[in-house]
Structure 1
């Protein structure tokens, strides 16, 4: 039914570019003043009203076209179409979609049906008809509508059709416009050419103008996708734009890009506090690769991430193991995937070197297995924490702890100094020697682990 309706719509209804091209400057002035729209008996001239509406759409004046249609009745069949087209050229969401079911038509209706459908709801498209209709648009409308067409075609996994849209946007321009660069960057990002995506987004951002917010969002997305560092000045620029464009259509995209920029610039605490929900998986990618030990420990003990790559979980497990947090490393290793090889590789010096997916050294100090006896147990996280906190009284109660002897001496009560000065000096020398011997034993035990 919709296909038949699209076929019945006059092609003149979609001749937006032709109407603008046919109008001379004198006629444009006359039409913009709305001269000649009313005929005999003060009735609207249907032909003149239709021509005026198409001219407004050609110029990108969607609100003016809608106002004229509401003020003066036009062709009853075309009015819903023109109202939808008016909202599309103004970048607004179509309130009443007159193009429902026309996405697979082989006429210009395919393009407008695609644009009238939101990105989340688009299901099908006639790529050939869409590209042909888009190519027939005037250059300024191609630049304005190109990103919207691109978003929908990429959602349908049609990158080849997007390349045709990019070519049409570049046609007739002496220099590549920012809108074209943004579409090209999005296409590059979709196809995995992240370096080219960054370059195109940077070029678009350098041009400035009204496309600067979109260009900055695209630039941050491309940089984070490539794993590059996001410069702090881009973070500052995004923060300023969030205030400037509050309540606008791009506000949500700016906020999402700001979170990515905080992550990409290494501001992990700010990113965690700025996120309304779980941080995106890329947070853990950057933290695992570039975060300091303090930053890693700050976030590695929070609730486990909902999504994380196997490689990043393995890196975090490896780093936690090297810091002595054996139990926590074991939990992160589970996130890395239980199907990985359970082996321990040997370093050149014969020491154990855990890899992502490898079993961690046992915390059982009584392990008598001859295959693992040469790899002494690594202290658990509780013991490690007690040492960092210098809780010597607790350590003095644990005989198996290598620091037990030193902790006992530190916590032992001092005898009253009622001895002669020479005897006191002798006692201090003996105590110093005992302390040195305990430290030597401790260092040997630590080296063996």
Structure 2
């Protein structure tokens, strides 16, 4: 049985190693162009193909999967509007948000650099550049050196790596071609090997003492960066260097502490720094962060090792770091440093080694797994790594006889990320009502109120009472402001708007909570309460609201008939998004102000249903019944359009509605308006025609009366 288990484990490991290859894609904004850097293994064939308003980057890796999650975090321009990959191994597709073109070159054999710049496309870029023709050196007649002078000579130039010179020269020539400084005849884009000729190797222990320069070097400040500006990351800390497993031995904690404290201070109160370091490590190993920091304070010195202990102690006490983080950017390391880097940074990095973190977590002692397990699970949940979060919580459950409030709260976070709101709410209620919960209870209540707001639910009377009591009890603690904001949001969910807004006016840094409370006010409050709180909202609070909230306020004010306030809330200077929605509100405010021509200008050619309705109303206010009817026909409001055609005395209707009420009214009216044809030379026939016309008129009048009575 064990043999089969080992075989299955080996198969799963092999399958995991045969998975998709992750290729990182980084980005940056420069003056005049946007740059993407794609990291590929040496020797990878690649090609850039231009498409309509975009480009495709192909790499010769069948299992390549581009990691583009952080591309738009550093982009401020709209040159790149979308980037995607359909399946692993497919091309990286880029869509441009401007009239741009893309060029690409290879840097250091491992980085494909794609530059996106406005303008017309330049000639395609390739690495097939003809070698430059160097002038022949002038012949100088000089005496030959003697035998003693020839012995110490070293001629490394013949053995130096030719690829170094080719890469530097290609980079400079391509940079000049991109800026129209030089003209190159380059071959078409196509797959090619990214690794050049490596047959000429540099001799061992030979320093490169030759630099290639050109006239373009003097223009570096004007041309911008010629190579990607990559951030240098710190070196990894190995598990052996950190040595966390050796911070304690097999003895009981009191026995180890007693031994170290006994010889801590020697003669004349001289501190044994080695014992103080061991004591700090021991405290940190057993989860006593404050005691570890106090032991380090006795030493009075700061070293990389003490910084690492202080960072771990801050994680264990759930407090912010003081000073720089010694584990910064180390989540990529395949050592125990990865898990402490994630815990100190509070979020998962793009290059994080999740499996390494889980293995390090499994080697932690039971008490630390119970302590840091919920924190690590929350970090995984925030990064949408739900399966990793479940594995961490299952590992915590295996060593707990009774679920702790922290683990239960972490499970609620996983359930919420999965979309199981009912389970998440049940777990949070368990934490709030637990007698063993400390600060987890108010934090769980804050999460529960936030979840109620996201679902547009309501807060119960018991939750309001708990929020009020926590606000008073924890007013001087670190989470005091959080509980005040939670209480204010709970009051708004309970429709206690006056009390909620009065409380928010006294809470600093409550812009987000105020925004949420205003959204609830706009959606649920009666007209009197809504108008009173919105019109009396202080100017700084009004300007701190988001664009979405301001638009919702303007929409309700417009529905109530307030033109000026509608224009104010839809025309704030800081609002730059949802332009179409704000333009519709401008048009609606113009109609409310009796300015239909301005409303038509605001609407422009907007084809939405709401714009059609407003455009018809504007034409109706102007008196252009025929234009209003034609607009309503596009909106499929045929009966209303027939009514307007009838009011405009229009005879040639584009789409006559036979069965519609106003279509019948229009036809009856047109029939009554038709002139009577007289036959004066035939009195008898003339009298018969008059009688028939009179009968038809009576029928049309009866039909009109019947249509009127139908209302």
TM range (shorter): 0.5 to 0.7
Q: After superposition, give the CA deviation of every residue in 1:217-246 in whole Å (9 maximum; x if it has no partner).
A: 121112222221112332332233223223
Distance 1:319 1:200, change over 3 A: farther
Deviation at 1:198, TM superposition (A): 1.5
274-283 or 357-366, which deviates more? 357-366
Distance 1:132 1:27, change over 3 A: same
1:101 corresponds to: 329
2:425 corresponds to: 198
Q: 1:325 aligns with which of 530, 551, 561?
A: 561
Q: Residue 557 of structure 2 contacts residue 566 of structure 2 at CA under 8 Å; is this kept in 1?
A: no
2:483 corresponds to: 254
Q: 1:290 aligns with which of 513, 524, 537?
A: 524
Q: After superposition, give the CA deviation of every residue in 1:61-113 in whole Å (9 maximum; x if it has no partner).
A: 22222222332589965322212222221222221322233222111111112
Superposition pairs for residues 25-424 of structure 1, below 5 Å?
Answer: 27-28=255-256, 30-31=258-259, 34-37=261-264, 48-72=275-299, 78-96=305-323, 97-117=325-345, 125-208=352-435, 209-210=437-438, 211-273=440-502, 274-275=504-505, 276-277=510-511, 280-299=514-533, 306-308=546-548, 313=552, 317=555, 321=559, 325=561, 327=563, 337=581, 359=613, 362=617, 367=623, 369=625, 371=629
Q: 1:13 aligns with which of 229, 238, 244?
A: 244
Distance 1:42 1:250, change over 3 A: closer
Distance 1:15 1:264, change over 3 A: farther
Distance 1:330 1:36, change over 3 A: closer
Distance 1:231 1:255, change over 3 A: same
Deviation at 1:2, TM superposition (A): 6.8
1:249 counterpart SS class: coil
Counting helix residues as a fraction of each chain, which structure ranks higher? Answer: 1
Q: After superposition, give the CA deviation of every residue in 1:27-86 in whole Å (9 maximum; x if it has no partner).
A: 25634x823446899876677545433331133222222222332589965322212222
Q: After superposition, give the CA deviation of every residue in 1:375-401 in whole Å (9 maximum; x if it has no partner).
A: 9xxxxxxxxxxxxxxxxxxxxxxxxxx
Counting strand residues as a fraction of each chain, which structure ranks higher? Answer: 2
215-224 or 272-281, which deviates more? 272-281
What stretches of structure 1 of length at least 5 have no aligned partner? 343-354, 376-447
Alpha-carbon distance in structure 1 between the residues aligned to 2:534 and 2:317: 47
2:334 counterpart SS class: coil
Alpha-carbon distance in structure 1 between the residues aligned to 2:284 and 2:429: 31
* Bigger RCO (CA 8 Å, 6+ sep): 1
Deviation at 1:178, TM superposition (A): 1.0
Distance 1:230 1:15, change over 3 A: farther
What is the CA RMSD across the aligned residues, in angstroms? 4.4
Deviation at 1:158, TM superposition (A): 3.4
Distance 1:278 1:11, change over 3 A: closer
Alpha-carbon distance in structure 1 between the residues aligned to 2:516 and 2:405: 27
Distance 1:357 1:232, change over 3 A: farther
Alpha-carbon distance in structure 1 between the residues aligned to 2:513 and 2:304: 49
Q: Calculate the TM-score normalised by the size of structure 2.
A: 0.42
Q: Calculate the TM-score normalised by the size of structure 1.
A: 0.64
Distance 1:270 1:51, change over 3 A: same
Alpha-carbon distance in structure 2 between the residues aligned to 1:74 and 1:300: 57
Instruction: Give the count of matched residue pairs.
Output: 355
Distance 1:367 1:75, change over 3 A: closer
What stretches of structure 2 of length at least 5 have no aligned partner? 1-231, 572-577, 588-608, 630-639, 645-710
